[in-house]
Amino acid sequence: MSSFILGAGRVGRTLISVLQSAGEPLSGASNRSEKNAHRTTAELGIPTQASPCPVIPPETRIAWLTVPDREIGAAARCAAPQLHPDAILVHTSGTLPSAMLRSHAPTVGSVVGAHPLQTMTGAPDDLERIHGCHWFLEGEPEALQTITALLQRLGMHTHPIRPESRPLYHAAAVLASNAAFGLHNAATRLLVQAGVDTEDAAAALVPLMTATLSNLQKMGAPKALTGPVARGEVDVVASHLDVLAREAPECEELYRALLDPLLRVAREQGNAAPDLLDAIDRIRRESSTKSR
């Protein structure tokens, strides 16, 4: 089944590369700008139109809408009238249900929502990153089977998801990925307040964060958890909350919020005595009361 990629940005270009490497047929692609269309054609060797509403070749059986969420409706309205009656319209939004495609393209053959749980920056290693990544899908039954089978042929892990659960699913993805930038920013500001140069602070934290994720990947939670909560160090946690409340109250709120899930992991790990973890939890709740 030949695929057309409408919106060859970070996700779209990576998808093109994966389809090409697997020998799956492609009928074309599109970008909004001439510059990006020329780039896609030159780098990936696929005919790429510069248009928000491209002409979709008649042999297309899968139209992938790899555009920002705000543009999916317009892309669906563009693609649907051009598609074969048996074609499948697929969006790659993490939050939106596939049924929203029906409201914009009621005559299209079938619809699916398929989201890759991976970060893509437009760098060459996106292709390496997406191989074997986890995709979460929902949609109309026969089309869902077709897209699931295609992704599995591409070496992906596929998981069904309820349409109504998509916002919750995507919130989890944001916490696991984008929130790391927020944590890095907060930790950098604390180091700067402690007298460390800004660039040095930002650079010093990355190996720590990388090692933490490496440990998580190799050992899994809860085994990989380290630090004062894992050790049940009540006084250390209390000192952190105290200094943050005085010198960085916005970070104290963040630190306190993270104590709840950290305590859950620490209890599962079982290295710290339960009464010590209970004491940390009391401090967490008491500091919350004081901050109101």
pLDDT of res. 288: 75
pLDDT of res. 65: 98
Q: What is the DSSP letter of 272?
A: S
The mean pLDDT of 9-26, rounded to a whole number, is 96
Are the beta carbons of 137 and 160 closer than 8 angstroms?
A: yes
Whole-model pTM: value is: 0.91
- pLDDT > 90 fraction of the chain, expressed in percent and rounded: 94
The mean pLDDT of 153-173, rounded to a whole number, is 97
pLDDT of res. 292: 60
Residue 125 confidence class, pLDDT cut points 50, 70, 90: confident
pLDDT of res. 291: 66
More confident residue, 179 or 289: 179
The mean pLDDT of 272-282, rounded to a whole number, is 98
Residue pLDDT, tens place only, 58-73:
999 999 999 999 999 9
pLDDT of res. 71: 97
Are the beta carbons of 60 and 4 closer than 8 angstroms?
A: yes
The mean pLDDT of 190-199, rounded to a whole number, is 98
The mean pLDDT of 179-186, rounded to a whole number, is 97
More confident residue, 292 or 52: 52
pLDDT of res. 129: 87
Beta bridge partners of 26: 3
DSSP string, 165-212: GHHHHHHHHHHHTTHHHHHHHHHHHHHHHTT--HHHHHHHHHHHHHHH
Question: Domain 2-163 maps to which CATH number in 3.30.420.40, 3.40.50.1970, 3.40.50.720, 3.40.50.300?
Answer: 3.40.50.720
DSSP string, 139-150: E-HHHHHHHHHH
Tell me: pLDDT of 177 over 80: yes
DSSP string, 53-99: SPPPPTTEEEEEE-S-HHHHHHHHHHHGGGS-TT-EEEE--SSS-TH
- Listed by start position, the domains of the chain span 2-163, 176-290
Average pLDDT, the chain: 96
